[in-house]
Amino acid sequence: MFEANNPEIDVDKLMQKIREEVANLKKESKIQLVSTPKPFSSLSIKTNSYTSAMNANLNYMEGLLKNAESRAVSRTKWPDNLNRFPFNFSKGIQKLALKILNFIFKDQREVNFNVIKALKESVALNRQLIGQIETLRSQLDQESHHLAAIDTRIQELCERFGTVDSSIQGIDFTFNNIDTCINNRLTLIQERLDTVDNQVKGIDERVDTVDNRVKGIDKRVDTVDELLNTKKVHNLPEFLEVTEESYINLAIALSKIPTEEHYKHDKKDLFYYLFENVFYQSDIVKEKQKFYLNFINKDLSVSYPFLDAGCGRGEFLQNLTESNIKCVGIDLNQLEIETLKKCGFNVHNAEILNFLENTSERYCGISALQVAEHLSIEDIHRFLILAFEKLVTDGVIIIETVNPHSLYALSNFYQDSTHVKPLPPEMLKFLLEWHGFKAVKIIYSSLIPESARIFPEQRMNYQDYAVVGYKKL
């Protein structure tokens, strides 16, 4: 009862309370240590709240210590609440009692004072620690701001480095494209240079060939000059008068048509009939054309007739008939056609192209001897097209004309006024091949007079040539 009214501090309770506060502080510090790191700004706010709580706790503890210190001093006054019955003792008893109590609790008071002093020092130390913590917090805040600025700068640098890296990749891709393009261009240029080089080599070869040909021509010209000098005729008169028999009288004499019947025939047909009698000797023509029989497929001739286009006086028809080859002849000259009919030949007075376009007959061979020079190049194309259509497979085509390589033949070419123009054998061979004929060959015939054979190139010494080709499928 006396202790209940005694204002002494309960040191155990006070220590227990201090232990609880310290335990709470340790618990909070552990939570702070294991928690997820926060940004610098949030850490600063958390530190502020923590130090504020510490200061509050220390203030509270100082209050407790002050209260405990005030209660721990020696009692010099009897408590007022003990002045009631039955504790309302006399003053002397009260003083004695106080002395006894003070003596009894003297050691306790010393302990209490020491504890209070120790706790005060602890509080002071805690305040110093809090001050140091705040100083460190301030420094930490500054460092955190500095680190935050550095972090922001690093992020900016990372972004810039990312941009620079992307730009570098783009530049690298562009350079790769440029490099590829340049390589392609260089390759193309090299290919073109190689092509040009090959073309230049080809041109060089052609130039060499032309040069060799020119040299050959020069040699031939020299040879001709030598031959001409060798064959040179001396003592020529200033004027040369040639007296020969009348051509027209000779033509009439050679004609099988009496003069009194000339009026019955077309003048154009009669003119050409008489002209041929003078300038084309029929027996020589017939003998020469026998050579072309060698190119006719005898087996095909059993089933298919042979067509002589532009048969004229019928020299080749005679050769075909004598070789037992069924034949048909066509010519524009009605006089000659009538003459051949009287001799028993199967002939028609018709234009060659019209006849071929309208006939349904198929032939083992078609000839056009001394006809092509009378046709335009367009008509020759058309004739070859129709001839290819009307020939059976393995059928032959034979085209004979004047040889333009022979100066002797060319000198007589326009003696026939119906001639259009001379045809080079190479060109006529190409035309046959163009229109589908195969195994085309050129055959030269009719040697010029021996006195005129002064040319080293053989083909220049023949008056005529023929191209022979076959229809092959």
- Residue range 425-440: average pLDDT? 95
Among 157, 172, 188, the domain-final residue is 188
Q: Indicate whether 402 and 298 sit together in one domain.
A: yes
What single DSSP character describes residue 459? G
Give pLDDT, residue 7. Answer: 45
Q: Indicate whether 367 and 287 sit together in one domain.
A: yes
- Using alpha carbons, list the distances in angstroms from residue 232 to 90, 226, 361, 454: 196, 9, 56, 12
Residue 25 or 19, more confident: 19
- Using alpha carbons, list the distances in angstroms from residue 250 to 246, 275, 336, 338: 6, 10, 18, 22
Q: How many CA atoms lie within 13 A of 215 on its CB side?
A: 6
Q: Which residues span the domain enclosing 70?
A: 49-188
DSSP 197-235: HHHHHHHHHHHHHHHHHHHHHHHHHHHHHHHHHHS---S
Structure tokens at 240: 């040369």
Which residues, other chains included, contact 210 with Cβ-Cβ below 8 Å and sequence gap of 6+?
none
Among 165, 188, 211, the domain-final residue is 188
Q: Indicate whether 268 and 398 sit together in one domain.
A: yes
Kindly report the CATH number assigned to the domain that includes residue 328: 3.40.50.150
Does residue 99 lie in a domain region?
yes
pLDDT digits (tens, 9 = 90+) for 330-388: 999 888 898 899 999 999 999 999 999 999 999 999 999 999 999 999 999 999 999 99
Q: Indicate whether 174 and 257 sit together in one domain.
A: no
pLDDT digits (tens, 9 = 90+) for 404-418: 999 989 888 888 888
Does residue 198 lie in a domain region?
no
Number of continuous H segments (helices) and E segments (strands) in the chain? 14, 7
Q: Indicate whether 286 and 386 sit together in one domain.
A: yes
In this structure, of 164-168, 302-306, 361-365, the range with the lowest mean pLDDT score is 164-168
Residue 268 or 328, more confident: 328
The CA R_g of the chain, rounded to the nearest whole Å, is 71
Does residue 32 lie in a domain region?
no
Give pLDDT, residue 61. Answer: 74
pLDDT digits (tens, 9 = 90+) for 45-83: 555 676 777 777 777 777 777 777 676 666 666 666 666
Residue 155 or 238, more confident: 155
Give pLDDT, residue 282. Answer: 78
Give pLDDT, residue 46. Answer: 56
- Residue range 6-34: average pLDDT? 58
Q: Indicate whether 335 and 435 sit together in one domain.
A: yes
Give pLDDT, residue 11. Answer: 55
Beta strands in 284-430 (DSSP E): 306-309, 327-331, 347-349, 363-369, 391-402
User: How high does pLDDT run on average in the chain?
Assistant: 81
Give pLDDT, residue 18. Answer: 65
- Residue range 19-43: average pLDDT? 54
Does residue 14 lie in a domain region?
no
Among 167, 188, 209, the domain-final residue is 188
Residue 281 has pLDDT above 50, yes or no: yes
Give pLDDT, residue 393. Answer: 96
- Residue range 277-287: average pLDDT? 79
Confidence class for position 229, pLDDT limits 50, 70, 90: low
- Contact at 8 Å (CB) between 460 and 419? no
Strand ranges of the sheet holding 363-369, from the earlier edge strand across to the other edge: 347-349, 327-331, 306-309, 363-369, 391-402, 462-471, 437-447
Give pLDDT, residue 14. Answer: 61
Q: Indicate whether 143 and 261 sit together in one domain.
A: no
- Residue range 193-202: average pLDDT? 86
- Residue range 243-266: average pLDDT? 70
pTM: 0.51
Beta strands in 2-84 (DSSP E): none
pLDDT digits (tens, 9 = 90+) for 78-124: 666 666 656 566 777 767 777 787 777 777 777 777 777 777 778 78
Does residue 435 lie in a domain region?
yes
Q: Indicate whether 256 and 390 sit together in one domain.
A: yes
Residue 4 has pLDDT above 60, yes or no: no
Q: Indicate whether 462 and 345 sit together in one domain.
A: yes
What CA–CA distance (Å, rounded) separates 60 from 249?
169
What percent of the chain clears pLDDT 90, i.e. is strictly above it? 33
Does residue 215 lie in a domain region?
no
Closest CA to 399 of 317, 240, 289, 321: 289
Does residue 11 lie in a domain region?
no
Q: Indicate whether 343 and 263 sit together in one domain.
A: yes
Dihedral of CA 367/370/374/378: which sign? positive
Q: Indicate whether 184 and 332 sit together in one domain.
A: no
Structure tokens at 275: 């002209």
Give pLDDT, residue 37. Answer: 45
What CA–CA distance (Å, rounded) separates 350 from 331?
6
What CA–CA distance (Å, rounded) separates 324 from 403?
31
Residue 462 has pLDDT above 90, yes or no: yes
- Contact at 8 Å (CB) between 344 and 321? no
Confidence class for position 34, pLDDT limits 50, 70, 90: very low
Q: Indicate whether 320 and 466 sit together in one domain.
A: yes
- Residue range 400-406: average pLDDT? 95
Domain count, the chain: 2
Does residue 64 lie in a domain region?
yes
- Contact at 8 Å (CB) between 109 and 72? yes
Which residues, other chains included, contact 11 with Cβ-Cβ below 8 Å and sequence gap of 6+?
68, 111, 112, 115
288, containing H or E segment: helix 282-289
- Contact at 8 Å (CB) between 297 and 289? no
